[in-house]
Chains A and B, each alone.
Chain A
Amino acid sequence: MKKRSFLERAALVPHLVWMILFIVAPLLFVIYFAFTDSGGSFTFSNITGLSNYADIFLISVLFALIATVVCLLIGYPLAFVMSRLKPSAQRVFVLLLMLPMWISLLIRTYSLLAMLDNGGLLNALLEKLGAGPVKIVGTPGAVILGMVYDFLPYMVLPIYTSLSKLDNKYFEAAEDLGCNGPKTLFKVALPLSKSGIISGITMVFVPSISTFYISQKLGGGRFDLIGDTIERQFLYNNARNIGAAISLVMMILILISVAVMNRFGDDDGGELIV
């Protein structure tokens, strides 16, 4: 019995070493840089200086929130409809939903830009139809649209997974017991797919709030989000300390909100759907 427990511990060793070296240590560096100045002495000025970035935090949270809600509003009905199809059709549509996720996000965003740009295909089409050009790129709408477009599958898939487990009988029973359409939706479908909704929300919100590519391309660099600001501090301004402070605050905010979300998701969390 002793021997076995030794083996059990030994199996954990590589992982523990890796964890300490490459998960814990990097985060300690973030904390270290966030609380030191460029000379290496302790300071709070990076953190207090973040008040300059309050706007950025606000706007990023708002953009990500709107994108998440829009994804939910579009994605939920889609997932619901998909989960009520014939099994063979379901499989086809799930694969169709996953296909865009296989194509690099950069390319997808860029081809969206090629469509929406002032001289892009959409405007060429509108011109032919006689409608004036619509200037989309460089507006907040474009950034949010980009987020919704890029991350919609991440919302639909988990919801679909939890809905597809439900038997049709639930809905039939609800209707037999006198529930109308909306009531069935709110009283039966929504509560039963809660865990899917919550992982969907997390999977859309986190990448949305930290993106920098979408805002650079579709926002034309006019709307700095947290991601842009962090990227600029590290790769352009050489201001690692401020960059680390912003990263730290964002990380804490996100970890807290994810934890809160998981609270709502009952305790059947840990279910991974990608």
Chain B
Amino acid sequence: MSTAELQSATPLATPPSAPRRVERADLVRTMVIAVLLVFVLIGLPQMLSVYYIDSMTQVAIYSVVALGLGVLVGRVGLISLGQAAVLAIGAWVAARLLFATSLPYEVVLLASGVITMVLGTLVGLPALRMRGLYLALITLMLAGAITVALASLNFPNGGHGFSGYNGTFVHIPSLRRPGIATTDPAYFRYSVIVAALMFLLVLAHVRTRPGRAWAAIRQSEPAALAAGINTTLYKLWAFALASFITGVAGGVLAGAVRYLYSIDFQTQDSITLLAVVLMGGAYSIWGAIVAGLLLQLLPAILNNAGVSPDWLIILFGIGVLQVLTTAPRGIVDQLPRDISRLGRRLGGLTRRSAASHGEAP
């Protein structure tokens, strides 16, 4: 949790004149976000080729997945390495419902979120007893188990039965999209709106009682217990929220790619996801967007330039090392600071240069 958020959670520490300033700052921030959102929804699809529109749709989806992991890692301090498997569950449920029913897409998203939330919370049960490396290991193993199960079950392809998979098809039907978003630019807008709603949902949690409880648990679980916080409830709550939004993201992913394969959901993807979340900034909501950009836009740019995206794994390794040693709050915190520091330095140089010219005869 950022300092500002912690301050807003402890009103006694705030001086009497501060609320008006905070309100004004909040208003400005909200307006900036609104303008940015309007630009992303209207301006960006006009500027980008369909290749990059598809990539930005993936950015929107994976920003939500990163946000879910950010809730666990950044807010509660729980290292989960099972989020890619949770995403796969969401995508599987959505695909099954899309093939089996004619339910509105929004209902399918909600249902995949809720079902994934139930399953994801089960994955989170070990978190009640362990933290750190052991929790990471357990969630990784569970993710591996889910990946193996999905590989055997296969993703639905329009077949019948529980799995909805028919391996004998010579023509695999594609997954449908919502009627209002059948084209790629329209689906991009749809994905951004769903992502924005998921961000608002998380923000609503972070700014209220659960957010304060998570911050307390992250600082010290015994202290949180001593303060009367139901740590079991709030830890499971965090897993439920992260799983819900990841499940919804899985549903959006199903419509984006239109064909799902178990090979696209590898256990090791969760490790890469954690790396980009740490690089982006696990403590900030904006960090999730940076993580989405790193995970989906950067490979698209590299691919477009004829460079294999496989190299990114090295870049991410260096990035995580850099972030952990010099900027624990991630790029989202480091970049503005470094830019302003650079600006000050350049400004100083300019002033010195002007002064030296002025002194010259």
The reply to whether chain A is a binding partner of chain B is: no
